[in-house]
């Protein structure tokens, strides 16, 4: 069974449609059917049932779909190991990330990495902290860069550094005149925060409850950091972000950051980790080593 057949079956399991699978992988429906027939002959068992709405996986198909992700990853890893033996500086690596500081870290880091390893492609997926850890543990991605992540014995942490979140606002905002800001003072103004799936929002909500404020809702709820920053630049909202996430705005004077009062501080850890159980390709190891060194130099 070749890699193309595995990837095609993964797409068929996802879409439940031969036509949609054909469109997604850029082949004809006949080619999809031909590959499916070949897989069923190879395993000696039907893998799908035809229905008026498409196809439905059989028990054997469900089993193949569950295992095919690992098979595809092992084939990719084997290809990259062979390239390593040939001394080729190419391959593919993937990262799952979360957190407001990710763009300010990964942008410059990956730019430098691309100059050193132009033959290595990098796929970056944005998710929750738990989603990133699960993806690494299941072998769906090579490494995770997270904030507000729970402890996870499945992950080997290569870098860990503190990150402090602070109120961020336009220079002419009323809170900008204060040397330090309390939680109750934040509640008096329009805020733009992510939803409660994000660690910083949960930390802020805990601080609000400690102040006896139980039913507070921000003026804007969005996971888009660009939208948050645009609202803050226009004076429409106050944000809670690490300084590194708004470094360019701080340097340009379009936004300013003020510290929380000591009892209102929101702190977490920026972490870089990979799976304890899964082997990394040479491309992934190069990226992990590079990011660890970059973080220790620029963030540690």
pLDDT tens column, 214-273: 888 999 999 888 999 999 999 999 999 999 889 889 999 999 999 999 999 999 999 999
Give the C-alpha separation, 136 to 144, whole Å.
Answer: 7
So what's the pLDDT on residue 300?
A: 57
Q: Average per-residue pLDDT in the chain?
A: 88
pLDDT tens column, 199-208: 899 999 999 9
Place of tokens 């992510």: 194
**In degrees rounded to 5, what are phi and psi of residue 236?**
-90, -15
pLDDT tens column, 37-91: 888 888 889 999 988 888 899 998 888 888 777 776 666 666 666 766 565 556 8
Instruction: Domains for the chain: give ranges and CATH numbers.
Output: 3-82 (1.10.10.10), 90-162+269-298 (3.40.190.10), 163-266 (3.40.190.290)
So what's the pLDDT on residue 77?
A: 63
Give the C-alpha separation, 188 to 182, whole Å.
Answer: 10
Task: Determine if the pTM surpasses 0.85.
Answer: no
Token pair for 278: 């899964």
Of the candidates 245, 246, 228, the one whose C-alpha atom is nearest the C-alpha of residue 237 is: 228
β-sheet bridge partners, residue 204? none
The Cα-based distances of 283 to 76, 143, 216, 298 in angstroms read 11, 12, 46, 22
139 φ/ψ sector (left φ>0, alpha ψ -120 to 50, else beta)? left
Q: Which helix (H) or strand (E) holds 3?
A: helix 3-15
Give the C-alpha separation, 64 to 239, whole Å.
Answer: 46
Token pair for 50: 């035809």
User: What is the mean predicted confidence (pLDDT) over 120-142?
Assistant: 90
Of the candidates 295, 44, 58, 4, the one whose C-alpha atom is nearest the C-alpha of residue 162 is: 295
The Cα-based distances of 104 to 111, 165, 233, 270 in angstroms read 12, 14, 18, 13
- Of the two residues 76 and 298, the one the predictor is more confident about is 298
């Amino acid at each position: 069974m070749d890699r193309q057949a595995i990837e095609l079956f993964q797409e068929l399991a996802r879409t439940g449609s031969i036509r949609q699978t054909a469109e997604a992988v850029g082949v004809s429906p006949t080619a999809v059917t031909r590959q499916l027939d070949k897989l069923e002959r190879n395993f000696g068992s039907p893998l799908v049932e035809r229905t008026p709405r498409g196809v439905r996986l059989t028990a054997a198909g469900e089993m193949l779909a569950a295992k095919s992700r690992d098979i595809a990853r092992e084939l990719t890893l084997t290809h990259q190991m062979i390239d390593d033996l040939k001394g080729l500086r190419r391959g593919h690596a993937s990262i799952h990330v979360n957190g407001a500081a990710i763009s300010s870290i990964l942008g410059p880091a990956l730019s430098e990495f691309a100059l050193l390893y132009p033959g290595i492609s990098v796929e970056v997926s944005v998710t929750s902290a738990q989603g990133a850890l699960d993806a690494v543990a299941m072998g769906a991605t090579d490494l995770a860069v997270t904030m507000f992540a729970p402890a996870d014995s499945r992950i080997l942490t290569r870098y860990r550094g503190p990150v402090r979140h602070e109120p961020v606002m336009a220079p002419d905002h009323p809170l900008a005149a204060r040397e330090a800001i309390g939680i109750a003072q934040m509640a008096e103004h329009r805020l733009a925060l992510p939803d409660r799936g994000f660690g910083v929002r949960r930390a802020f909500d805990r601080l609000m409850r400690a102040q006896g404020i139980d039913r507070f809702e921000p003026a804007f709820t969005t996971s888009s950091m660009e939208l948050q920053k645009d609202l803050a630049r226009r004076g429409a909202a106050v944000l809670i972000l690490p300084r590194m996430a708004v470094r360019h705005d701080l340097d340009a004077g379009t936004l300013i950051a003020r510290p929380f009062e000591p009892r209102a501080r929101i702190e977490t850890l920026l972490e870089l980790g990979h799976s304890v159980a899964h082997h990394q390709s040479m491309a992934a190891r190069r990226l992990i080593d590079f990011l660890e060194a970059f973080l220790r130099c620029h963030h540690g």
